[in-house]
Amino acid sequence: MTYFWGILFISLHAMVPITLTAVGEVVGETGGLFNIGLEGILLLSAFTGALGAESAGPTVGLLVGMGTGALVGLLFSVINTYWKGTQMITGIGINLFAMGFVAFGLIVLGAPGFHAVPAESRLAAIHTPVGTLSPIIFVALVIPFLVHWFLNRTRAGLILKAVGENPEAADVAGINVNLTRLLATTFGGVLAGLAGAYISVSWIGSVTKGISAGRGFIALATVVFSGLNPLLALLGGFIFGFFESLATWIQNLAGSKAIPWQFVAMIPYVVTLLVVAGVIGRVRFPKALGEPYKRE
Amino acid sequence: MNEPNRKLITRTLTGLNPALESVLAGILGLIVGAILMYIWGYNPWKAYWALFRGAYGDSYGIASSIARGVPLVLTALTFSIGVRAGMFNIGAEGQVYMGALAAVTVGYFTLPPGLHLIVGLIFAMLAGAAWSLIPAILKITRGVSEVISTIMFNWIGHFLAFYLVANVLVDPLRGQRTIAVPPSARFPILIRGTDLSYSVFAAVAFALVIYFLLWHTATGYEVRAAGLNPTAAKYGGIKSKRTMLLSFILGGFGAGLAGATIVMGNPPTYAVISGLPQIANAGFDGMAVAMVGRNHPIGILIAAVFFGGLTAGGRTMQITAGVPLEMVRVVEGVIVLTMSIPELVRIFRIIRRGIQKILRREAT
Amino acid sequence: MNEKSTSPEKSPEYFLRAEGITKVYSDGTVALKKVDLEIHPQEILGLLGENGAGKTTLTKILSGLLPPTEGRVVSPRGPVRFSSPREALEFGIGMVHQQFALVGPFTAAENVALSHERPFALLNLEETKKKLEKLMEESGLRVPLDIPVEKLAVGEQQRVEILKVLSRNVDLLILDEPTAVLTPLEVDELFSFLHRLREEGKSIILITHKLKEVSSITDRIVVLRHGELVGDLPTSQATPAQLARLMVGEKIEEEESAVELSVESLPRRREEKKATPKREGEGILHVEGLTVQGDTKEIAVNDLSFDVYSGEIFGIAGVEGNGQTELVEAITGLRPVISGRATISGVEITGKDPREIYRLGVAHIPEDRWRLGLVLPFTLAENAILGVLRWKEFSGPLSFLRWGKINQHVRKLIERFDIQATGPSAPAKSLSGGNQQKLIVGRELAKDPKIIVASQPTRGLDIGAAKYIRDLLVEMRNNGRAILLVSADLDEVLALADRMAIMYEGRFMTVAAPDELDRETIGMLMGGMAKEGV
């Protein structure tokens, strides 16, 4: 029985960065921009969030992480709206930069490759009789609902969907396509930034050059799985988190030859492939996703 | 300035336009790197000087730079062949893993030297191509975005490789790594005392083959045409499904070959180490090389030496100037970011027009 | 020839007045010349004219979205100059284009809600739906409100566009070729709706080229030709014959201010036809009962049958959008065929792909040369071998390209067709439009085809290049080839064709020699009126 609570709590913790990042990207992709640089944002904000926490406390750390995400998201959107860049390449550039910057930064801070965030700089956990929870988990549970409400119940949400689906029609209706996309993707960056800072300040409590561990890409996969529905992104995040915790659990269980942990770890990616291939449900994406918008 | 000279200068500037864009991006990357170094308290001049010396300062450095560049040429070509065909094939990362592991399997049987190596290369290329097959089929039959499918396959390949290294191909005597590639299947060292092996010829050969294929055969023409204008290509009787499939397979060959060159050309281990440190990131770095090389085999060869130099020189930079070599990846990232902005071209055109105006004024 | 008259019943007040509107685009084309026009409330105005007459430009200027080069648009309501369609809507002018600006997965209600302002408000679809229900009742336009728009029939989609505009309380509604995509039943519904609107005091401008329609629904008709307003008369006083004459003009001798127009038209001078007697050669292209579907599932080509013989130019004239594009695409293998067949010299080509069709001797000069004809980043030489690169002389074993031979061939082309370029390795996008077209023509002719399908071959070309291409087509005809010429430029077809057809709504209205048809008849046929009916 202790296994149940253990796995549940780890899954909830693991769910957070994926759900937050995915929900942010849902907003961004609804507007039409495809940000492959989420991994880079996670990495960068984990690092900057840790620094922020150490200098001024955990809350500041989280805010610094969100700010980092906002900056990168802003840079990405400006390049790909007003400057008509190529989204794929910008994203790859962000990832490369982040890899180098964080690795470099870690060495400069003194410990090559690894940096633990001291306990007093970490976010206070909530203690329950069966385990600890991070407060951010609740944030991650609530935000998808808020975003869902925003997308479906406000005019701004409608405008965002129009921009992603048919920017020409939105333009004709007097909507500022570039500005809308910019705001959406920057918001996505903020959530990804929170996710990254959460990893270093609240959950794992350290920064390594691989701390993001591909979660940015898992988030992209979750976005596909969700079909741009924030609630499904929450579910997807939990499922991926569950398999991640399962994989860790199996790996730590010496003598478990039932299923090698590597195959368990593969499951999220295989599932995404199946979803994307149309086997599981039919997913419909905004028609203008990934295309730069040029007014004729 | 007289007429023929003016024409020559204008022609040169026009022709070099794409190359100069890359140079501009490179300079910008170095500048940002310098700024970061300065902020963290390092001396950028000392660092770059060490970098340059380490990369190109002596024959050992040059050999090292080229050696580091060999796999980059191949993974860059994987990406570029995709771009030429109108797609984003970012699956090189996973295909490299598969290629490297396939190459290692030659350790399980013996063959005369030379032949042993070639068989290993063939295994590697086939493995790389096989790993790109499912994304290719998904794209061609169901229009599935190759970006997502290749990313997924990168990660599936990552974990599969972990599994194979730890459980299937493991060296029973050593653990933590696969069996080694036997001497009969290794690339001989080209320059003694360096780590530059004959694998460089494999890379150059592949690049040349791709060049000839794309620009000097009807098949390659069809690939490029379909990538640039699928509608006109269809009107010209070109089947874009065929060209896409071909591009995926060729790309897989390249990435598989890259994995093989790392494993079969890399003293002292000649094996895949657990955690995949030697072969990780070859795919992503290759993309940066491809972009700077303007997705052309010749440009890629040059860019690979540059990026290889960054890595090789990075070590010297770390030892001599104390700057962690990870700074190199920062520079790479900025370069790629810069290259994603087409406005760069416009800025450049403005500069060029300005120069033309000056030249014209002088003529009158 | 201007016929102006004002009906005494109309009130003197106007909604909009255009005074002396002239519009010259930045590339020199004169789109409108000194147009004076008044729009009155409570009237349906028909705006008639051929392709390129200036109708769209005029309406853009009237709705304040495009500034005139000379002249002005005034209204008792205030200045008529807006920076976006939304502002025009707020003023009271709404336009429904041929291309709908709808967001596919949105429902009708959501599409309408999109065009209202205040982004930070809560979405209240119930309210929007209620308003729409009321509007639908008043206007008689019914549309399902909860189905994604992309699943609706085209006629229903158009109604959503109209409702979108109506929901903003416009006083002037402009419709651009609205009946092009409607079934006859939908046309009737639309027209009764327009009548209702007029009763409420609104103004409507209907842009069309269909004579029957314009006669049946409008109160007043305005005819544009080559940017000039040549007719402004009450519908009751206009006969289709008269309108046709106004639309396409009198015989070419007339000296009109040689208004150089946008892409489709010629300056008014007589083309010398190479005087070669008509030869009845062998039948090359045979089309039988061809029916082709357009992009929006409507029938674009309707049970068409005709033949083209060697040694003749068979011209297809008509306003664009009547199935010409789809016909050419079907013949050249770019579009599937629903029923019927086509053969080249007896060999079936229905449903075959382009390369096979070319091998049978068909050359195609496409109407959209950037999308279909050229790969712009490629060099001249690379473009010159598009479609033919697998020929023995150009590629060898292992599909190696013989660049030597190819460049030789290209240099010959450059010389033969007088293509201005720096050489075979010049990028195609550096060539002017005329030279690009010459390249395409040269490439196609090098295939030594039996028949050349030329679709809008001189569109966008300067006079010199256009003449060159036309002369070339005539020369090909004299050499015994068959030529299918599809052109929205009536003068071009009249000058070049040995036999011609006028295409309207997927059918040929007639097939005859150009001499046998007078302008008036042609105009009527282009407008959809059969010769006998008036």
A296 has a pLDDT exceeding 50: no
- In this prediction, residues A7-11 reach a mean pLDDT of 86
The pTM of the full predicted model, rounded to 2 decimals, is 0.81
- In this prediction, residues A286-294 reach a mean pLDDT of 71
* Contact predicate A216/A40, CB 8 Å: yes
- In this prediction, residues C381-402 reach a mean pLDDT of 82
**Domain count across chain A:** 1
The edge-to-edge listing of strands for the beta sheet with C70-74 is C30-39, C16-24, C70-74
Domain-located, residue B337 = no
pLDDT value, residue A47: 92
The number of beta carbons lying within 10 Å of the beta carbon of residue B354 is: 10
Smallest CA-to-CA distance from C484 within C284, C343, C314 is with: C314
pLDDT value, residue B73: 96
C396 — pLDDT class (breaks 50, 70, 90): confident
C207 has a pLDDT exceeding 60: yes
Strand residues in C25-171 grouped as ranges (E): 30-39, 43-48, 70-74, 93-96
Domain-located, residue B239 = yes
Give the span between the Cα atoms of C172 and B22, in whole angstroms.
54
Domain-located, residue B169 = yes
C2 has a pLDDT exceeding 60: no
* Contact predicate C323/C300, CB 8 Å: yes
* Contact predicate B340/A86, CB 8 Å: yes
| CATH 3.40.50.300 applies to domain C1-92+170-262 | yes
Domain-located, residue A12 = yes
A1 has a pLDDT exceeding 70: no
**Inter-chain CB pairs, A–C, below 8 Å:** 64
Domain-located, residue B238 = yes
> For residue C459, what is the DSSP state?
T
C300 — pLDDT class (breaks 50, 70, 90): confident
CA distance to partner chain B, nearest, from residue C333 (Å)? 8
Q: Which residues of B touch A217 (CB under 8 A)?
A: 151, 155
Fold of C283-526: Rossmann fold (3.40.50)
Cβ <8 Å between A158 and C110: yes
Q: Is C190 on the interface with A (CB under 8 A)?
A: no
Q: Which helix (H) or strand (E) holds B98?
A: helix B92-104
Cβ <8 Å between C366 and B235: yes
Domain range for B269 is: 70-307
Q: Is B138 on the interface with A (CB under 8 A)?
A: yes
pLDDT value, residue C262: 28
- In this prediction, residues A226-255 reach a mean pLDDT of 82
* Contact predicate A44/A149, CB 8 Å: no
Q: C460-478 burial by CB neighbour count: b if 16+ within 10 A, else e?
A: bbeeebbebbbebbbebbe
A272 has a pLDDT exceeding 80: no
Domain-located, residue A36 = yes
Going from N- to C-terminal start, the domains of chain C cover: 1-92+170-262, 107-169, 283-526
Q: Which residues of C touch A183 (CB under 8 A)?
A: none
Give the span between the Cα atoms of C424 and C417, in whole angstroms.
13
Domain-located, residue A64 = yes
User: What is the residue-averaged pLDDT of chain C?
Assistant: 81
Q: Which residues of C touch A161 (CB under 8 A)?
A: 103, 105-106
Domain-located, residue A286 = no
Q: Which residues of B touch A266 (CB under 8 A)?
A: 155-156, 159-160
Smallest CA-to-CA distance from A236 within A16, A19, A25, A29 is with: A19
Q: Which two tokens stand for residue B269?
A: 């281990």
Q: Which residues of C touch B229 (CB under 8 A)?
A: 371, 374-376
Task: Read off the CATH number of the domain in which A234 is found.
Answer: 1.10.3470
pLDDT value, residue C6: 45
Judged by phi (left if over 0) then psi (alpha if -120 to 50, else beta), residue C182 lies in beta
Q: Is B225 on the interface with C (CB under 8 A)?
A: yes
Kindly identify which residue of chain C lies nearest to residue A174, measuring between CA atoms.
C86
pLDDT value, residue A229: 93
Q: Which two tokens stand for residue A29?
A: 């992709």
Q: Is C170 on the interface with B (CB under 8 A)?
A: no
Cβ <8 Å between A265 and B338: no
C242 has a pLDDT exceeding 60: yes
Q: Which residues of C touch B221 (CB under 8 A)?
A: 382, 385, 389, 401
**Domain count across chain B:** 1
pLDDT in tens, B77-114: 999 999 999 898 999 999 999 999 999 998 888 888 88
Give the span between the Cα atoms of A194 and A67, in whole angstroms.
9
Q: List beta partners, residue C499.
A: C314
Q: Which residues 99-128 of C are in CB contact (within 8 Å) with A?
A: 101-106, 110, 113-123
A155 has a pLDDT exceeding 50: yes
The number of beta carbons lying within 10 Å of the beta carbon of residue B28 is: 17
Q: Which residues of C touch B225 (CB under 8 A)?
A: 375, 378, 382, 386
Q: Which residues of A touch C106 (CB under 8 A)?
A: 158, 161-162, 165
CA distances from A171 to A86, A176, B200, C101, C154 (A): 21, 6, 53, 9, 22
pLDDT value, residue C64: 78
Q: Which helix (H) or strand (E) holds A19?
A: helix A2-31
pLDDT in tens, A117-140: 777 667 777 777 777 888 899 999
C483 has a pLDDT exceeding 90: yes
Give the span between the Cα atoms of B249 and B255, in whole angstroms.
10
- In this prediction, residues C427-433 reach a mean pLDDT of 83
pLDDT in tens, A57-108: 888 999 999 999 999 999 999 888 887 778 888 898 899 899 888 888 888 7
pLDDT value, residue A70: 97
Pairing of strands C43-48, C220-225: parallel
A186 — pLDDT class (breaks 50, 70, 90): very high
pLDDT value, residue A180: 93
Domain-located, residue A90 = yes
At position B144, the amino acid (one-letter code) is V
Domain-located, residue A289 = no
High-pLDDT (> 70) share of chain B, %: 92
Domain-located, residue B200 = yes
Interface test with B, best of A262, A264, A274, A291 (most B CBs within 10 A): A262
Interface test with B, best of C328, C349, C367, C401 (most B CBs within 10 A): C401
**Inter-chain CB pairs, B–C, below 8 Å:** 62
pLDDT value, residue C5: 44
Kindly identify which residue of chain C lies nearest to residue A162, measuring between CA atoms.
C103
pLDDT value, residue A179: 92
